[in-house]
Amino acid sequence: DTAVSQTPKYLVTQMGNDKSIKCEQNLGHDTMYWYKQDSKKFLKIMFSYNNKELIINETVPNRFSPKSPDKAHLNLHINSLELGDSAVYFCASSPIGENEKLFFGSGTQLSVL
Amino acid sequence: GENVEQHPSTLSVQEGDSAVIKCTYSDSASNYFPWYKQELGKRPQLIIDIRSNVGEKKDQRIAVTLNKTTKHFSLHITETQPEDSAVYFCAARGGATNKLIFGTGTLLAVQP
């Protein structure tokens, strides 16, 4: 079983559209994240949720809205997609406490045309 | 906030040689420093980590060192193999925000 799974793996869409990426973890972790990796491979944190509560919200445009229906799920909805949103989006989870290892999903390659 | 710098951005070595990747961090309150390996088209995966109460840690062919005074930490890979080819990221966590901030990555190419 995949520990952190995200769908879809590839997402190709037109500018102006609205799209969602789903993420689920079966590790029992309390904390989940969204990271964006651009074409230069920079990994930048976007959001972090702890047990359904938003704890980190970086300077991300408000077109990006995370939603956590329960602590095993963290979805990312993006409104009015722009060319600059093209990137790989990684979901990740980690347990609370000293063991802070991040477990990443396989990534979603978003291409905005 | 925390800022993590990583060098070099690309590194090419011959199989069997050693590779060293260096990082610096800005927040003196940072206390956790993991290293992630990302193979082409794959997810980043933790390969080793070190906490601020330890100066060095080794796991087979990889080792990390940490100097809290200078705020430098490094990844050392000995006897490199072609399968070590990947992008390596350092990261630092700690301080007020407790966020994990990644370095800019190093593309390591091991030539057979």
Write the residue in B46, B97, B107 that is nearest to A102 by C-beta.
Answer: B46
pLDDT computed for residue B75 by the predictor? 98
pLDDT computed for residue A59 by the predictor? 78
pLDDT computed for residue A98 by the predictor? 52
Contact B61, B79 (CB under 8 A): yes
Nearest residue of B to residue A5, measured between CA atoms: B43
pLDDT tens digits, one per residue of B50-80: 988 889 999 999 999 999 999 999 999 999 9
Band (B1; pLDDT cuts 50, 70, 90):
confident
Test the A interface: residue of B102, B104, B108 with most A CBs within 10 Å: B102
Short-list A10, A2, A58, CA closest to A34: A58
pLDDT computed for residue B71 by the predictor? 95
Query: What residues of A are in contact with residue B104 (Cβ under 8 Å)?
Result: 40-42
Contact B50, B57 (CB under 8 A): yes
Mean pLDDT of B81-109: 90
* Distance (Å, whole) CA B41 – CA A50: 28
Write the residue in A40, A45, A107 that is nearest to B100 by C-beta.
Answer: A45
- A104–B49 CB contact, under 8 Å: no
Q: What is the mean pLDDT of chain B?
A: 93
Contact B100, B93 (CB under 8 A): yes
- A44–B45 CB contact, under 8 Å: no
